Structure 1
Amino acid sequence: MVICYKQLGEYHFFLVLLLISVQCVIAANNILKPGDTLNTRSQLCSENNIYCMDFSPLNTNPIVNYTHLSISDNRKDDNSAVWVANRNQPVDKHSAVLMLNHSGVLKIESSKDAKPIILFSSPQPLNNNNTEAKLLDTGNFVVQQLHPNGTNTVLWQSFDYPTDTLLPGMKLGVNHKTGHNWSLVSWLAVSDPRIGAFRFEWEPIRRELIIKERGRLSWTSGELRNNNGSIHNTKYTIVSNDDESYFTITTTSSNEQELIMWEVLETGRLIDRNKEAIARADMCYGYNTDGGCQKWEEIPTCRHSGDAFETREVYVSMNMLNNLGNSSYGPSDCRDICWENCACNGYRNYYDGGTGCTFLHWNSTEEANFASGGETFHILVNNTHHKGTKKWIWITVAVVVPFVICAFILFLALKKRKHLFEEKKRNRMETGMLDSAIKDLEDEFKKRQNLKVFKYTSVLSATNDFSPENKLGQGGFGPVYKGILPTGQEAAIKRLSKTSRQGVVEFKNELMLICELQHMNLVQLLGCCIHEEERILIYEYMPNKSLDFYLFDCTRSKLLDWKKRFNIIEGISQGLLYLHKYSRLKVIHRDLKASNILLDENMNPKISDFGLARMFEEQESTTTTSRIIGTYGYMSPEYAMEGIVSVKSDVYSFGVLVLEIISGRRNTSFNDDRPMNLIGHAWELWNQGVPLQLMDPSLNDLFDLNEVTRCIHIGLICVEKYANDRPTMSQIISMLTNESVVVPLPRKPAFYVEREILLRKASSKELCTNSTDEITIT
């Protein structure tokens, strides 16, 4: 880095004195050597100054004291970011640095963030003198190892982790060897780089580009038959082999300075370098198939074919507006909420940064004054029938009826053929031909999420024949082992109990649901294995074990300071919000507890163990079951007593977990001198006006007073007796992240204690133990 000053005339000498205290820091080159840093006052630019990397405050609302590490294209008029390193983890804008240390680790650090953000860490020792991080003229930021013969090996590259922009050389697809997936994910809002609702992918089996909205297929390009072609005046190449399958765009001329890019917007629209639309997923409403849109199984009964949102200016009164000031909602969230609500007539963003929602309601169109100069809303327009409809109906009938008759005859023939086929298939299965089912499962995985069906011999090799030394723990559905996959990746291998009667088809259906769950706060499923009676699930490995390993141990609990604990609470809430709202099907976990919260290398929480999870269609909210399974102390009263299951069941468990994280004590850890559990204890302290006495003593008063009190408050309203009185996960996240949100006063919680069980618990002097015993109820 060098310090530069503008050359000024003598008559501007007094300005020089001012500039002495202002450092104009620029990058001397485009390379970071071991020990070099890039801070918030400096910039790293590619050789020909096409791309530059720096810390920029991309998120203008509501977080103003944080920044992101991003790469910008200097050829774009708005100089906006084409890649963001830490889109979900902004860092302090005053102290953030990017560093390549002498151990070959590329990371982002700041004085206010205890844990660094690791971008690259080599599993093998590196020759530090021959390692560098370099920003290329292609926009690719690489960590590479230089060799004496002048060649280099790329160890890590930003192109493998695209955000919302596709540049020439970037890939959309999958690496078959590692299972790594390349895809674009939209920003949450126009000024908020957090992960949004839309994912742009390459589907290698059907050879088509697709856009998913929260996991639901919204748009497809249709089959691309040529390996080299052009879409919207942009050339593309398709590669498919044993190692990888991907789609990439290329330059249209030999001019390397030409600006070529695709970008998926927060609204779902895919645009090119001229901001012209390539795909309009924002115009896919579930009923239409034009322009590549895909039909959804169900749409609200009050919405009809032709209904769409249009941007209009309108004068409205305050009583026609309903605000939802939650910064975790982006434009697509507002659109979907309004679409689902039959009383909603339009929406706009609540915050300037593009987050939050304001909904518009009126009784009749006369109440809304559409005129220039009014507020801009996305108004739901109801298209009316046109003249000549009856004529077209008769023409349609004349054409369709003969076709329907022919189709019915063909249907009967196919049905008979299908019946014969299924009978033969059933006979094959009954005679033990399991290979066919496994092959079907493997093909299905490749179509869905590119998960892998592992051979049983590979699993045995990975776990050293399920050696006791490799055993990580014992779950309710079988033991879990640590294993090393053939790719060298560490994994947690769950061996389901052989007493389960689950067949191949049922096992496959369950896996198809689990593999749809993709979120940073959920443990990722890598694959499975089926061998005779064996049913094996293979998950990503979490090096820091589970939350209860630290939380309920006197020594290890000291490793969890308040900032880590609050980060864990927030991460669990984000994972639950995804399960309840943003996954393809509404998922209720039913067994949320400290031992089912795993921690990654940065102590970030990931929800695990979906063995008891229940899947709901989006319109479903509650069900009743006669098979009540769960862990004592975490089950909501309506579930434990009546078998009623809803998202509020998970909210109750979350409330218990929050109080345990704050106190460092199990809900059932109290001794027999007081017939009470942790919930009752917290409630008494709250009523006495001393809630902070609940705090874990190992925190040594090093915590944010208001933040802790607010978390205790939220924990108590989550464990209220009646499900309807508990908040939703959306409301909980708003309460956690926004101090201006009013938290309702808690009522007497639904704590109930069986004295016989409490008598068997340890005394208060023995609360900190290594024991992870829990009482499971069936």
Structure 2
Amino acid sequence: MQSSSTVIMNNSSLLLLLAILILVIITGILIPSSDAIVSDTLLPNQTLVDGQSLVSANQSFELGFFSPQNSTNRYVGIWYHNISVQTVVWVGNRDRPVADATGVISFDSYGNLRIVDARGSSFVFTYGFSSTQSAVAKLLDNGNLVLMDANDSSHILYESFDYPTDNFLPGMKLGLVRGQNRLLTSWRNSGDPATGDFLFGENLDSSTDYGKMYIWQKNKIYWDSGQLNSQIFSNILKTILLDFHHVSRPGDDYYTYSIMDTSSIFRHVLTVSGQIQVQTWVETSQEWILFWALPGPQCDVYNLCGDNAVCDDESVSEAQCSCLSGFAPTLEALTEWNAGVTKPGCLVRKSSLQCSTKGKGNKNGSHTMPDFISDGFLLIDVILPADPQHLNVNSAAECQSSCLNYCNCTAYAFTDGCQLWYGNLKNLTKANGAAAGLYLRLALSELTEEKRNRSNWIWVVPTATVLGLILCMTYMCYWWRRKDSERRKLYQEQILLASIRRNLDEAGERGPSFTSFSFSRVADATENFSSANKLGEGGFGPVYKGQLAGGLEMAVKRLSKSSGQGLEEFKNEIILIAKLQHRNLVRLLGCCIQAGERILIYEYMPNKSLDYFLFEPTRGVVLDWTRRFNIIEGIAHGLLYLHKHSRLIIIHRDLKASNILLDDEWCPKISDFGLARIFSSNEMQANTIRVVGTFGYMSPEYASEGLYSIKSDVFSFGVLLLEIVSGKRNAGFHRYGNSFNLLGYVCI
């Protein structure tokens, strides 16, 4: 019988060991090995599952699976590793998303990186064309994903910089590189990285456009940079510490840039709305800040108003587009202009040009003029239009004559040599006073009418000019005084902050870390000082409840600009509380001094102030005798610390029920040190000609003669003690027997 039991026990042990062995094997199969979790490099025998990622050596960039906002699709992308707001700079499968989180990145038999999901769908997103025994994938510190030979790191098989999406990063090349035109392509929308409607880059279809940048919308020109020199970006970016280079050689014509301040993070991005933007990351506010965007003014959009129509960004009326002199819109164009939609232009001449259809034709099919000429030219205030034809002549007269000799010559300019425009004029923008020298061809009847209209302005213009100068000077005086006031205010704020920091850095008692908050951060924490977050309002301003991004709750005291507390009281309160550490003193977390605002940030007291409960019978029931005794004891401990145990003797001078705050454990904390004064160890009392505080709590010698000392706080504590015991206010619209206050009633 025993042997049978032993056999059964042995069999059970064997079964248990076998089960554990099977569990270990299954666990080893299902759980990826540590070899699959890599740093910046993926080896041929490794995989990267959804949830794992590659991180560049300097911790700047990360590669893995992500989902855009409001989307469940999964994409392989590269984003900034150390930036709290996930900012994707490259997408490998933008038009082939994975439907769920089952995607795996691995090498195929040709050395390419592919994505495989649980359904068996496979998509190659990088092409290495190498043996899997030698190809490795590495995420570089500049955000470039490269496939390279493991035995020769200089042999690059593929790099993501050759296939940009919507971001142009430092070190990237934009333009013609090794015969391939690198372009930026926008996302379809903010939640879908699929190929969008806009492209940005160089136009390689024309040999004369190298160095000229375009934005296309659905294969139509949306914006162009104009005729710029080889330093296309120099005038725009020289002030923001970006060093641009233009490389032009056989097979290559591209731009690249670097950041002179390596501690900063810059990027160019083509937005879903068709803007090319330069953004920089601001660590303090945890957000991307826009430096500039093109096209900026709406008139930068290519040929926005249509042919023979001028776009004016400074137009004060709703009509941003207007026809050139001598031209009129078609009925269709007029209707669309009034509706504020895309402009088809002005295709109708009011008066026909004097062109002879019997003249000799040239090889282009245009006709020469007859013996007499009845056309002329009008100088118009526009930037030179697009697509000029250059003519090699020596003078403006020859240039004008050449234009007159051809009926389809619409305008000429002699600024940078002779330039002629044939047919309709495109991409016209008002120069607003800086005429570029464009002469528009018109019939003589139109020129006569134009001269008549201009003569009416002979007297109007000087009068308007004088009035304009007077208004301008008045505005400049107002603007200067306002700026001077702002500079003075900013200077005072800087002096105040410097004084506070200097005092806090001096030797002596030092409280917990003190933070200088920005006004925007405080506004966000309080939901822009919402009335729903308002805790109350004292004599110096309202108090709001706030919550920082990390979850820390705080009380925000926003001093009223009309309050009696000046800069000295504000500074005094900060320096005193920031240096003090005691259980019964309220803790100051920081302050905000910006744009005329003076704000104090305290630790949040869930149970508000003592007067909230003490003088309201329905709320006062929560203050039983044990709790009242503990409150009295806590206030006494706080005063004892101020008067005896801190490095300097501190007289509060405004001790009252509303300045006693209660935390979640009903522990009292003395607050509001705006009127407090510091005594040295050998001082006993002081005198002031400005008596401040709250009547009913002031000692007689302070109220009548301005003398204050430790005894002043002791007197206020005695009044507060009577109020806590009785639940009645010392002073108010109450009569206590023959006395008008509680203190007099007790003393009788």
Answer yes or no: same fold by TM over 0.5.
no
Q: Which has the higher contact order (CA 8 A, sep 6+)?
A: 1
With the length of structure 1 as denominator, give the TM-score of the two structures. Answer: 0.34
With the length of structure 2 as denominator, give the TM-score of the two structures. Answer: 0.35
